[in-house]
Chains A and B, each alone.
Chain A
Amino acid sequence: MPTDKTSTLDDVVAELRDGMTIGIGGWGSRRKPMALVRAIARSDVKDLTVVTYGGPDLGLLCAAGKVRRAYYGFVSLDSAPFYDPWFAKARTSGEIEVREMDEGMVKCGLEAAAARLPFLPIRAGLGSDVLKFWEGELKTVESPYPDADGRTQTLVAMPALKLDAAFVHLDLADAHGNAAYTGVDPYFDDLYCAAAERRYLETDQLVSTEVLVKTVPHQRLLLNRMNVDRVVHAPNGAHFTFAGEYGRDEKFQQFYVASAKEPDTWEAFSRRFLQVDEATYQREVTAWQAEQEENAQ
């Protein structure tokens, strides 16, 4: 019987270290491992370097003052007002150092790390201010093979985005780390896991291996046991981003944005939804949704 990797959010938090480089799966406001992000946000860890296709995950970590450095292709909430308020505050106050890059460079850097390569060549980034964002850390590489016309391609040498830890949310998983997505897009969660030393998976549904493989077509089995160290059962864990079985909670996301505007509204939001454990969060979200329904009537 393979190892049972089921863990609590506290088990995961106990393994965090100051200054670590973490990758966060999903995309924008889509299938983000928000239960894990909330756990990181209320932990004592600090000075994180975050690698992500950013959304409210990066926003919440910025709000909690956990981010020292961020590597990202973009940061978006994917629906109005699109720009994450806490990421914007961290940037306009100069609190975080960024290594902004083309979206394709994130994939490329994770692939390099997954293959244990120091870099992979890519066109994207050339001529743009991405190289300035990287302040000398990003270099170019010249092809040893000239083109047919005798000229030689010089390309961005995208460095491996090696991660100390990866955090991902999949819709369905077993206790051993086999896991599947059920929505339209795997995003890059397998690459984050492949690029990381420690791999943390949260899942909406924890099922037997037999049920897992019977529930989805084989091509949806994105992660296998070699890709995962801990499995956390976190129903609705991607909230307020969407996952395979539920949509984005647009109203709550807008409430998150509105709450970020003033210190007192943020304090109220934080007390109710962030300075609490995951079970309380989920209970309070359900209560909040009921309040909204009542107010609407």
Chain B
Amino acid sequence: MAGRAGGERTVSTAETQATNIPPAEPSSPLAEPVEVTRAEYCVISCAGIFAGAGEIMASPMAPVPLLGARLARLTTEPDLLITDGEALILADTPPIGKTGPIEGWMPFRKVFDVVASGRRHVVMGANQIDRHGNQNLSAFGPLQHPTRQMFGVRGAPGNTINHPTSYWVPRHTARVFGETVDIVSGIGYDKVDPDNPAYDDLNIHRVVTNLGVFDFGGAGHTMRALSLHPGVTADEVAENTGFEIEGLADAPETRQPTAEELGLIRDVLDPKGVRNKEVR
């Protein structure tokens, strides 16, 4: 039942191109070989999270997914709603760190209404993620006596059970991707009760890391490799993951950005290179 409503809303490439990309200088491969940085592969991978998302609120919680959401909005997903991270809905798509004209009001209490409505796709960070997609950003160690305190569960339980959720991990290590998480903040597929429709909207859409793009389309909703960024080997991912990732050996390279995407990332959205501080 998982992922039924608000579930896989992937739109074919042809479809998005037909509606949104001007046909002249489209998603064609780069004409000239250009050196693309790892951070830029991460940004286009985060943009890919929102492919086919439609008119929903994109809530990225870190710089690279924020750039991805804004890139998606400037290319194939113009109907996404984005906010200033505080309480205002932005009419335009400003560079990272800048605001601009607004189109609406979204104080925190209304965010919870959006969460409950399901019309949202959040990209959260994670201190830990397991192979079924359980996530921890709360604390390490025992619940009432942790060894390290982080934020607490924040909106992770509500996000994951209500609407599409993806994760961004700027440093892919076996400490993050371990066998189990200490505290389940964001719920994973093994928590779903198929007899309870309240779980139907669980949809952990993507995990994007500095090494590649993943989902939970493996056997029994386990983590699966969709692509590895150019220069990353399957061995490198395996060494930095505490469990087996399905499809790792056969994973293709992450696609090249288009010339349009590179221009938007470098000249419009992130001229100061904030992305390079998050991914080196």
List A residues at the B interface (Cβ < 8 Å): 27, 54, 72-76, 82-83, 87-88, 91-94, 97-98, 100-105, 107, 122-130, 132-133, 147, 149, 151-155, 184-188
A-B contact pairs, 6 of them (CB 8 A): A74-B153, A74-B154, A87-B149, A127-B161, A128-B160, A184-B86
Q: 1/0 per residue B84-118: CB within 8 Å of A? A: 00111000000000000000010111001001100
4 extra A-B contacts, CB within 8 A, seeds A83-B151, A123-B161: A74-B154, A100-B153, A125-B161, A127-B199
Q: In the complex, what residues of A have CB within 8 A of residue B115's CB?
A: 104, 124
Q: 1/0 per residue B172-200: CB within 8 Å of A? A: 00000000000111110001110111110
Q: Tell me if B12 counts as interface (CB < 8 A to partner A).
A: no
Q: Give 6 nearest A-B pairs by CB, closest first.
A: A124-B158, A127-B191, A127-B187, A94-B145, A88-B149, A128-B157
Closest Cβ neighbor of A134 among chain B residues? B143
Closest Cβ neighbor of A88 among chain B residues? B149
List B residues at the A interface (Cβ < 8 Å): 86-88, 105, 107-109, 112, 115-116, 138-139, 141, 143-158, 160-162, 183-187, 191-193, 195-199, 202
Q: In the complex, what residues of B have CB within 8 A of residue A87's CB?
A: 149
Closest Cβ neighbor of A148 among chain B residues? B197
Q: Is the CB of A126 within 8 A of B107?
A: no
- Which of A74, A125, A154, A188 is in CB contact (< 8 Å) with B196? A154
Q: Is the CB of A128 within 8 A of B187?
A: yes
Q: In the complex, what residues of A have CB within 8 A of residue B109's CB?
A: 107, 186-188
A133 to chain B, nearest CB (A): 6
- Which of B108, B155, B197 is in CB contact (< 8 Å) with A102? B155
- Which of B145, B151, B187, B192 is in CB contact (< 8 Å) with A76? B151
Give Cα A130 to B138, complex, Å. Answer: 11
A12 to chain B, nearest CB (A): 26
Q: Is the CB of B151 within 8 A of A130?
A: no
B8 to chain A, nearest CB (A): 19
Give Cα A88 to B107, complex, Å. Answer: 28
Give Cα A73 to B109, complex, Å. Answer: 13
A88 to chain B, nearest CB (A): 4
Q: Is the CB of B199 within 8 A of A91?
A: no
Q: In the complex, what residues of B have CB within 8 A of residue A133's CB?
A: 143-144
- Which of A97, A101, A187 is in CB contact (< 8 Å) with B153? A101
Give Cα A122 to B113, complex, Å. Answer: 12
- Which of B116, B141, B153 is in CB contact (< 8 Å) with A123? B116
Give Cα A264 to B88, complex, Å. Answer: 42
Q: Is the CB of B157 within 8 A of A185?
A: no
Q: Is the CB of B145 within 8 A of A104?
A: no
Q: In the complex, what residues of A have CB within 8 A of residue B195's CB?
A: 151
Q: In the complex, what residues of A have CB within 8 A of residue B116's CB?
A: 104, 122-123
Closest Cβ neighbor of B184 among chain A residues? A129
Q: Is the CB of B199 within 8 A of A184?
A: no
Give Cα A107 to B154, complex, Å. Answer: 12
Give Cα A92 to B184, complex, Å. Answer: 18
Q: Is the CB of A132 within 8 A of B107?
A: no
Q: Is the CB of B87 within 8 A of A184?
A: yes
B117 to chain A, nearest CB (A): 11
Q: Which of B139, B155, B157 has its CB near the most chain A CB atoms (within 10 A)?
A: B157
Q: Is the CB of A126 within 8 A of B198?
A: yes
Give Cα A92 to B148, complex, Å. Answer: 6
A193 to chain B, nearest CB (A): 14
Q: In the complex, what residues of A have CB within 8 A of residue B161's CB?
A: 123-128
